[in-house]
Amino acid sequence: MERVELVVKPRTTTGTRAARRLRKEGLVPGVLYGSGKAASPIAIDVHALRAALTTEAGRHAIIDVTVEGKKRTHKAILKEYQLDPVRHMVRHVDLQEVRLDEPIESTVAIVMEGVPAGVKMGGILDIVTHEVTVHGLPGAIPEHLVLNVEALDIGDAAHVGDVPTPEGITIVDDVSEIVCTVLPPRVAGAGEEVTPTAAQPELVGGEAAGEGTEA
């Protein structure tokens, strides 16, 4: 797993007003927590954060976090984040300190591969679940999981249990949960022309809004 370095600033003030002031200065407010310790408020340069989360590992990279003025390095992962609904800028991040020899649970996106046979016949690919929760060592968590949907005919469905995982990674969600299905072509009403289109999967890399608690 790719490792990246990130230097953060300690944050002495919290609250909405203080967070807004940090963002104007090009900093992203956040917290660093884990190892049984209370959450420590931090601020991160927006460009440094973007660089740390746009490597090949995406938002599942192992981040070596150093707090300014401290010598210790914290191995952490991006646990949660908030996006501005209008500007699509990161508003807040939660970094969780981890041990590389202890398994964790993490949410991983599912990327659909191929065009279903049913879609080629006029059906519509309906994606029900865009991500799953996996269990494994921090360094083994994949950036995303790939599900090939080419064999799906009209009326067929792919389930969580059909999603392949790399060695050492298990999916903890219900294996019977539907990931996607191919719906029959929609019947056009009077004077209406329908052109079936396949739903597009949501990709990884920090574009999907996460949730976190602003502190």
CATH number of domain containing 64: 2.40.240.10
Q: Are residues 77 and 36 in the same domain?
A: yes
Q: Which two tokens stand for residue 9?
A: 């600033």
Does the structure show a pLDDT above 60 at 154?
yes
Its pTM stands at 0.75
Tens of pLDDT, residues 63-114:
999 999 898 899 999 999 888 888 878 899 999 999 999 999 999 999 999 9
C-alpha distance from residue 25 to each of 13, 19, 46, 205 (Å): 14, 10, 9, 24
Strand ranges of the sheet holding 144-148, from the earlier edge strand across to the other edge: 144-148, 104-113, 131-136, 170-171
Quick one: which of 195, 199, 164 has its CA closest to 180? 199
Looking at residue 188, its pLDDT comes to 60
On whether residue 23 sits in a domain, the answer given is yes
Q: Of 52, 81, 98, which marks where a domain is finished?
A: 98
Out of 63, 98, 133, a domain closes at 98
Minimal CA–CA distance to 179: which of 137, 215, 125?
125
**Statement to judge: residues 121 and 94 lie in one domain:** no
